[in-house]
Amino acid sequence: MTKMKILFVDDDRYEMYGLIERLEAADYTVEPVTSTVIAIQKIESGFLPDLIISDLIMPAVPDDASPLSNRHVGIEFCRMMKEQFKLRCPIIVLTVVTDPVIQQEAKKYAQALLVKPITPSDLLRRVEEVLKS
């Protein structure tokens, strides 16, 4: 059986790999990328994930013409995935942002929003739920 592919977008190396190790132990193939630019390039080059996990606060895309703003880049990234790239895979957003307005905005494109800190097991559970649904 083919392993499910997860694209994990997070600029922070401290936290990302601890979560990824748990997902890999559960037999998922995880593709970690540290910026939305690289994530977009991966998608453009034909990589089709079964699920995207993305942080909200990340560095802006280094391109003046980019619509991605400097704050909450993750929301814009999720929007692009859904509207521009027409990806049908679910998205889980991880964030420290507790502002309900921002959260609401993110939820327009994401199937689940998890507020950090989370344990790897919690994340795994949500991943399984989202993929099943």
Partner 1 sequence: MPEWNRDSGLTELLKKLPQLICIPLISADHLPDDPEKPRFIGLIDLHVVKVGDVQQPDDRLLFIGRLTAAAFLRARSYERYKIIQELNKIAIDLVNPTDRSRLEERKDAYLEKVKQVILNAVQANCLSIFEADESRDLIRCVATTGIKGHNKFKKTVYYRKDEGLTWNVFATGKHKLVNNIHECAEHTGRFLEKRSLPTTPDHDPLLAFPLPGQTPEGATGVIRIVERTCMVNKKQLQSFSDHDVDLIKLITHQVSPNLQMIRMQAHRDLFVERTAHQVTQPLQGVIAYASNILEGLYKSEPEKLHKKFVYIRQMARAAAGMMRSAAWASGITDFGFLEQIERHPEKLTRYFIDRIIDLQPLREHDGIKVRFVNPDEADQWGDFLVDEQFFDQAVQNLLHNAVKYSYPNTTVLLKVFRAGKELTVRVTSTGVPIDLSEPDRIFWDRERGKLASRYDQQGTGQGLYLARQILRGFGGNIELLTPIEDSRTVPPTGFPTAQRCTFQIRYPEAFPDDQDENIIRR
CA distance 128 to 125: 5
**Interface with partner 1 includes 107 (CB under 8 A)?**
no
Pick 2 or 45: Cβ nearer partner 1: 45
One character per residue 26-65, x = contact with partner 1 (rule: CB under 8 A) = ------x--x-xx--x---------------xxxxxxx--
CA distance 124 to 133: 14
**Interface with partner 1 includes 70 (CB under 8 A)?**
yes
Least distance between partner 1 and beta carbon 73 (Å)? 10
For 40, phi and psi rounded to 5 degrees?
A: -65, -40
User: What is the gyration radius of the CA atoms in the chain, in angstroms?
Assistant: 14
Number of other CB atoms surrounding residue 69 within 10 Å: 11
Start-to-end Cα distance in the chain: 19
Pick 114 or 131: Cβ nearer partner 1: 114
Give contact residues for partner 1 (rule: CB under 8 A).
11-15, 17-19, 21-22, 25, 32, 35, 37-38, 41, 57-63, 70-71, 96-101, 116-121
